[in-house]
Amino acid sequence: MQNRRNLLSGIALSTGLGLATAFRPKAALAQAATGGGQAMWGGRFTEKPGALMQEINVSIDVDRRFWRQDITASQAHAAMLVKQKIIAADDGEKIQGGLKTIIGEIEAGTFPFRREFEDIHLNVEARLGELIGPASGRLHTARSRNDQVATDFKLWVRDALDDMQLKVKDLQLALVTRAEQHADSLMPGFTHMQPAQPITLGHHLMAYVEMFARDVSRMADARTRMNECPLGSAALAGTSFPIDRTMTAQALGFARPTANSLDGVADRDFALEALSCFTLCAGHLSRLAEEMVIWCNPQFGFIAFSDSYSTGSSIMPQKRNPDAAELVRAKSGPISGDFLALNTVLKGLPLAYDKDLQEDKPPVFHAFDALDLAIRAMTGMVLDFKANTARMAAVAASGFSTATDLADWLVQNLNIPFREAHHISGAAVKLAETKGVELSQLTLKQYQSLNPGITADIYRVLTAKASCEARTSYGGSAPAQVRQQVVRWKGLLTAKG
């Protein structure tokens, strides 16, 4: 018995209830939890939910976030009910007036969000009843909280995708702006994090413009696919009332109503797909953040952030830490976790609505907030950093980075098969490494020992600048190509509509 009391004490403490409260009769406990009010769904129940049931069931602390979408959908539903003569016009006017009052209260911060009403839907309906009386009870005609929450959540996710696309485009424009400034700024390109070929900082930044363009495209595609209205699906089977689902869908900006009422209330693909888009975008942010962390390391010394995007150490006075970039990099993991969390909730659910779906919103809200902050921080860092162009150019010219240019010259000028040219170029690298010099510092005699056909013209291609400028293929690193892409993207990102 003592062990049981210890266990109950732990439960009481973990739920914020005292031990005496935990042992109170269920009916009394339920009344304490709900404030004694009648639950809106409580017709068949003689007792109110227990305190623990109330605690696990309540979602107003989370779903209050889409209050505006909830009220907007209710306004559209009420207008349709009046048009279809399902409710009287004067009741419709009272409902619309009450909903406008509630909007004002929430915007003013005076709306009484109450946990005893579980969620945003019942909070709004309860307050509407206080404002306009019995007419409020007609608003829920021909709908269920099942299609109501599916509609509200879909509206919120749709708005979130729209907002996120705009923020990603702002980041792209920042990248394009800096790429234009550094179209000629030489830097080393890497594969396997080893020096590969000279490129420009502008070319590197434009690579991320392309990555983020795919993110915008995926978000836009997801928005198009999700743009069907669940409202009117009711609990799961539709309704016998003569509703006009096309009217409410159009009023809410949807392309059409959902074609199956079961799917209408059960579908959360739209939320999972949004999280997929957010996860991919966060991964791209993390890659750029990682490179920024590397670039501002003094051993690289490619860029430096101002004090606005740096922090110091509590013990080492010399430190300038790229904490903003590191935190952007870190946020990728939890956002990926949000996708996995929602996918796990959804993977085994039978049709149609299950209370598990109450847990669909926290991961979406968290991922949106984290990605929103990460994108804004990255946009600021892109506009903030100062490039050490001399240091980048010096490193770009080191590490035998023009070896491929040497091989290309042999193919183009001596008609040597590329594989043979590759071998000769590799031998030149080995010779230069042995001599402790760069390829451009080998003598003509040394080159001719590798192939007697080599002429002094070889030195023309052995500078980092010449190497980069030679990459004139579409999408290449030549400054002219970078500028061409900058012009294209500036037009796309600043176009109206």
Q: Helix 269-295 and helix 323-346: axis angle, to 10°?
A: 160
**Residues carrying an active site annotation:** 192, 313
Distance CA 363, CA 340 (A): 9
Nearest to 344 by CA among 158, 336, 159, 261: 336
Q: CB under 8 Å to 398, separation ≥6 — which residues?
A: 188, 195, 438
Q: CB under 8 Å to 437, separation ≥6 — which residues?
A: none
Distance CA 233, CA 266 (A): 10
